[in-house]
Copies of this chain bind each other. A is one copy, B any other.
């Protein structure tokens, strides 16, 4: 007999069907006992005998043959009755916590220690479905705009991008490093396909133990050639975000904010003024970001806001300066609900500009040889961005800690499971 899913039951009233899944909950009331079965698509209620209920355990995997019976009490309008139950995989130890409560009551470390169990909770599943939908929307949007997907090396030979927060690896007896971003590679691939994207892991040996930092996260990277400046990049990002939000709404059934066709944009100097920062402040703090986020809602009804023109000294060496004021950059951040979730900008594209920028930074050229090669052999004006997937999902769902929206997070203290 073909197994059907919980969501299909209503179409099979009065029929005998096979369902299968996990025992989400066992409820023994005075006169009746219920087994709530959980499968990939949802829950269904099964009327069981007290004896059946006593012999079963929550989270055991079962296959049930039963009759679909209309029921006004059952949440879906039907329940399963007269079940015969076959246990496929029995749980015979106490669970460290229950997964059927509205919220997981265990501490976050306990949840993460037992990720294989805590991820089964509906709230955690929803977060991962949102992440999957956001990635899918990202790819759909970019493929429609002629971007080509790439896969770039995660092991690199020099810790060039930012020496400090990098993981060292033993690469066949030589030193290697985990890539902190696909930055250099996606730029080189602009020379091949003009427009590229990658969805992949990036690694930061972040010594900071905060609610928004992970040692590995998923970066949604894009890079595009033949731009006039960073505003072309921002326009493409805005269109991409719009498709991402629509895909999340459709696939994960989560309410998503409207993405304005033109997201409000403020310069770094304006952002500081809005935040009431002291004159001469050199960078945005989380508090300033929150203030600018509130301003964007208040003044423009937008939960998204661009901050452009960060000081060059705060941006990496490959950042293109603002031609009108070279102390400032053609770089931008996108704040979503007051948190930076995207960094992007226009990059340098001429070999001689790279040599000058690295030399000014006191950097030797040799570790960058393979990277500079692409610029020596002709590269168009280009720019791109990186979206932090976990931060986006956390902000979308109003979750305070990125660890709650990550399947098996890695941080300063955690390398398992």
Contacts and interface: CB of A to CB of B under 8 A. Distances in A.
Interface of A: 3, 20, 22-23, 39-40, 59-61, 88-91, 93, 95, 113-117, 119-120, 124-125, 128-129, 131-132, 135-136, 139, 143, 146, 148-158, 167-172, 174, 176, 178, 185, 188-189, 191-195, 199-201, 203, 205, 207, 215-216, 218, 226, 349-351, 369-371, 373-381, 389, 407-408, 410, 412, 415-417
A191 to B, nearest CB: 6
Nearest to A87: B378
Nearest to A353: B89
Contact of A172 (B20, B115, B149, B205): B205
Nearest to A99: B377
Nearest to A415: B157
Most chain B CB within 10 A, of A146, A170, A199, A378, is at A378
A140 to B, nearest CB: 10
A254 to B, nearest CB: 14
Contact of A374 (B60, B116, B350): B116
B185 A408 contact: yes
B417 A377 contact: no
16 contacts: A59-B378, A60-B378, A89-B349, A116-B373, A117-B191, A135-B149, A151-B407, A153-B216, A153-B407, A154-B201, A158-B416, A169-B170, A172-B205, A174-B415, A200-B201, A370-B417
Given A61-B380, A91-B378, 11 more contacts: A3-B226, A40-B193, A61-B378, A88-B380, A93-B376, A136-B149, A151-B218, A157-B416, A176-B415, A185-B408, A373-B417
Contacts of A370: 113, 115-116, 416-417
A20 B350 CA distance: 16
Contacts of A168: 169-170
A155 B179 CA distance: 13
A188 B116 contact: yes
A200 B203 contact: no
Contacts of A170: 167-169
Nearest to A22: B378
A178 B200 CA distance: 15
A149 B136 CA distance: 9
Contact of A95 (B188, B207, B377): B377
A43 to B, nearest CB: 14
Most chain B CB within 10 A, of A91, A153, A349, is at A153
Nearest to A149: B132
Contacts of A148: 128-129, 132
B89 A150 contact: no
